[in-house]
Amino acid sequence: MIDASHEPFEKNVEITKRVVEAAHKAGLSVEAELGMLGGVEEDIKVEDGHATLTNPAEAQDFVRKTGCDSLACAIGTSHGAYKFKGRQSLHFDVLRKIQVLLPGFPLVMHGSSSVPKEEVDRINAAGGKMADAVGVDPNEYLPAAKLGVTKVNIDTDGRLVWTRVHREFFRDHPGEFDFRPPGKIFIDEYAKFIASRNEKLGSAGQLVDLRKSLGK
């Protein structure tokens, strides 16, 4: 993954192309990014007013010039747990235009965590203070996948599950200090969460067919 989306278009192309050339020599694929998501990711913060949707024509030009293998597009998602004020929907109109210009090309959605209310409520009930945390509607994952999105990033949701499990464990076991017992609980809870997202994406129960397609 190379993210130079904060740079002007031509600079983004230059940086990405250099990474692609080096990666392809080593037999590695490259995911690039075009358009800027709002929110906070690691040490980068982009205010909503400065977020920009991916320009479909630029996306086509970008892929042609860089040779990247997949493209993360800005279509209305945002990094972190505090994504939006009120309900926010994906810009399917932008996604459709990109798909028309790049048919069959793998697209990626960053900042797609749903920030489940039940997780936030349980975190707060166990001592957390997460007000106004809002995410992407998970019911929009499958429509996006049908328009060419092959990868959906939901890192924040996993962190929420981790936080909820550990807050509840140490609230209920105040004398404990070992992280290993809640860690085992987290593994099970995270597996359940990922399985629920497989249902939303329509990928649940596909293992047998996948093995057949791979000749295994």
Tell me what pLDDT residue 34 has: 95
Q: Tell me the pTM.
A: 0.82
Q: Is residue 43 pLDDT above 60, yes or no?
A: no
149 burial class (0-12, 13-18, 19+ CB within 10 angstroms)?
buried
pLDDT recorded at residue 87: 52
Going from N- to C-terminal start, the domains of the chain cover: 9-213
Q: What mean pLDDT comes out for the span 16-32?
A: 98
Percent of the chain whose pLDDT exceeds 70: 88
* Dihedral of alpha carbons 201, 206, 211, 213, sign: negative
pLDDT band at residue 44, thresholds of 50, 70 and 90? Answer: very low
Domain 9-213: give its CATH code.
3.20.20.70
Q: Are 33 and 9 in contact (CB under 8 A)?
A: no
Segment 120-132 shows an average pLDDT of 93
Is the pLDDT confidence value at 42 over 50? no
Task: Kindly tell me if the per-residue pLDDT of 213 is higher than 60.
Answer: yes
Q: Is the pLDDT of residue 36 over 60?
A: yes
Query: Which H or E run includes 12?
Result: helix 9-25
Provide the pLDDT for residue 38: 55
Mean pLDDT of the chain: 88
Q: Which two tokens stand for residue 88?
A: 């926010």
Q: Are β-strands 38-41 and 44-46 bridged in parallel, bridged antiparallel, or unpaired?
A: antiparallel
Q: Which residue has the higher pLDDT, 89 or 160?
A: 160
Q: Are 78 and 39 in contact (CB under 8 A)?
A: yes
Q: How many helices (H) and strands (E) does the chain have?
A: 8, 7
Percent of the chain with pLDDT over 90: 70
Q: What is the pLDDT of residues 59-110, one digit of tens each?
A: 999 999 999 999 999 998 775 555 444 456 789 999 999 999 999 999 999 9
CB 101 within 8 A of CB 63: no
Token pair belonging to 166? 């550990």
